[in-house]
């Protein structure tokens, strides 16, 4: 079984969010399952030079983009026994940043065509092309139009994974004719409110659809979560599967994390040493027994930060410390900066993102707040569980599938959750978590449950293998 992952970010090469973690980890697990899996990415300017110097050019040619032919170079790098291809075109990718440019419609139309153009030239004929998010969503459409008469592609199947339905790649109608070089007969398959919707094209043309948790797969078939595509998703519900994301347990391991001064597995005493060190670093009172609450996230409405700000004054009345790390909307950035100024002994705010610093916060904190309005899967709660910081989450998407409420009577569960998107329910749940923290017996049971939580990629990878086999007729 040969599978080609098509994505626009991947650790350790380039990252803006959780997509990079998935593309960095899942192929490794698929390889263990016997899949010949390879990954193709744009060759961005921001990829570290150490990787670039190890790349080998294996093909150069041209790619049709509308009425023009654009240069393409394909560079290959083998790392950790996995093969990665990089699409090289400085006009499109030698820039500061990955997304948000005026010509993103053209850049990623080019990328999709370049991937398909390179395949016959590199001695790799995949059984499945596995596309991720809107930036690679045109490949199923192109296969059924521009490449449908070429024998090389006849048996190639496509899988499309929705990592976040909110981001769809919507562009003016002219893109369809001028960049995609398609006729009026194909416009219905990409049309969205009179515009071109890249993601919609994959929802229609891909052989099989997946998203990153079972609950989210059900949610997006309803109008509240469906981003105006719920009707189409209901229509294709028979081909839509939810497979929860995993966590790379080698990459995220508090016992072997180089960012931590005090490695640990699940011992509270070791966590408290990490807490005291972080308190020293941040200038917070060095009180190991005071519960530390962490918020490590993009500071945007999706993450439920309106709930956080609504209850914040009540929360700081509790005997807690709160550490916030992230960037995002200016209103939230300013709110948390002001809070740190008003409560310097209780709140520490950092408007930046630093992976090493984030690991220190996970290791030091006792509770991890994640009251998302919606959450396709989420990686924060998975890291928190791995590092023994009990997640407090809203019951949506992948948060439902990975966090089970702690029941005092039975000592079952690995975190805390609330159902309604309501600030007072959120505050009530936090107070319940704090009462568990104050009881050493209960907290010890919760920590053991967190340590037993298995969110590795093993099970999820097998789920993808089953889908590859089913779509190719492998069984």
Give per-residue pLDDT as tens, 211-231. Answer: 999 999 999 999 999 999 999
Residues contacting 40, CB < 8 A, separation 6+ = 4, 5, 6, 7, 84, 85, 86, 87, 115, 118
H or E element, residue 270? helix 268-282
pLDDT of residue 16: 87
Reported pTM = 0.93
> How many whole angstroms separate alpha carbon 456 and alpha carbon 462?
12
Pick out the chain residues at pLDDT < 70: 475
Residues contacting 272, CB < 8 A, separation 6+ = 288, 289
Domains plus CATH for the chain?
2-246+458-472 (3.40.50.2000), 268-452 (3.40.50.2000)
* Residue 15 annotated as binding site: yes
pLDDT of residue 108: 98
Contact, 450 vs 390, CB < 8 A? yes
pLDDT of residue 475: 55
Write out pLDDT tens, residues 4-31. Answer: 999 999 999 999 888 999 999 999 999 9
């Amino acid at each position: 079984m040969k599978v080609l992952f098509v994505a626009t970010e991947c650790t350790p090469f380039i990252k803006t969010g959780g997509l990079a973690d998935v593309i960095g980890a899942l192929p490794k697990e698929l390889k263990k399952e016997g899949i010949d899996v390879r990954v193709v990415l744009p060759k961005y300017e921001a990829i570290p030079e150490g990787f670039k110097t190890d790349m080998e050019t294996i093909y150069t040619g041209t790619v049709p983009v509308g009425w023009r032919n654009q240069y393409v170079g394909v560079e290959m790098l083998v790392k950790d026994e996995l093969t990665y291809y990089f699409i090289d075109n400085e006009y499109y990718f030698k820039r500061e940043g990955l997304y948000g440019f005026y010509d993103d419609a053209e850049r990623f139309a080019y990328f999709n065509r370049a991937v398909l153009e390179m395949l016959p030239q590199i001695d790799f004929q995949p059984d499945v092309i596995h596309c991720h998010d809107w930036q690679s969503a045109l490949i199923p459409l192109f296969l059924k139009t521009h490449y449908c008469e070429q024998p090389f592609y006849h048996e190639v199947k496509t899988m499309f994974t929705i990592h976040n339905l909110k981001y769809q790649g919507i562009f003016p109608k002219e893109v369809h004719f001028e960049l995609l070089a398609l006729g009026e007969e194909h416009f219905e398959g990409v049309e969205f409110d009179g515009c071109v919707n890249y993601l919609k094209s994959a929802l229609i043309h891909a052989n099989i659809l997946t998203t990153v948790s079972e609950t989210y797969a059900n949610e997006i078939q309803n109008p509240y979560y469906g981003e105006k595509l719920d009707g189409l998703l209901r229509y294709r519900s028979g081909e839509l599967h939810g497979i929860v994301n995993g966590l790379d347990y080698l990459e995220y391991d508090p016992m072997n994390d180089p960012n931590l001064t005090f490695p640990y597995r699940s011992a509270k005493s070791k966590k408290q040493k990490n807490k005291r060190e972080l308190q020293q670093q941040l200038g917070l009172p060095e009180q190991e027994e005071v519960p530390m609450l962490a918020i490590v996230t993009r500071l945007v409405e999706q993450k439920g930060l309106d709930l956080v700000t609504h209850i914040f004054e009540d929360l700081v009345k509790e005997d807690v410390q709160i550490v916030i790390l992230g960037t995002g909307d200016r209103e939230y950035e300013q709110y948390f900066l002001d809070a740190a100024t008003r409560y310097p002994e209780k709140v520490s705010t950092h408007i930046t993102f630093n992976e090493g610093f984030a690991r220190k916060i996970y290791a030091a904190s006792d509770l991890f707040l994640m009251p998302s309005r919606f959450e396709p899967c989420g990686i924060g709660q998975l890291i928190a569980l791995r590092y023994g910081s009990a997640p407090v989450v809203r019951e949506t998407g992948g948060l439902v599938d990975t966090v089970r409420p702690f029941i005092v009577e039975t000592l079952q569960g690995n975190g805390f959750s609330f159902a309604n998107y309501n600030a007072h329910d959120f505050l009530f749940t936090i107070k319940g978590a704090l009462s568990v923290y104050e009881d050493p017996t209960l907290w010890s049971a919760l920590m053991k449950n967190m340590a037993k939580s298995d969110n590795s990629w093993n099970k999820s990878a097998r789920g993808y293998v089953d889908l590859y086999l089913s779509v190719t007729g492998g069984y």
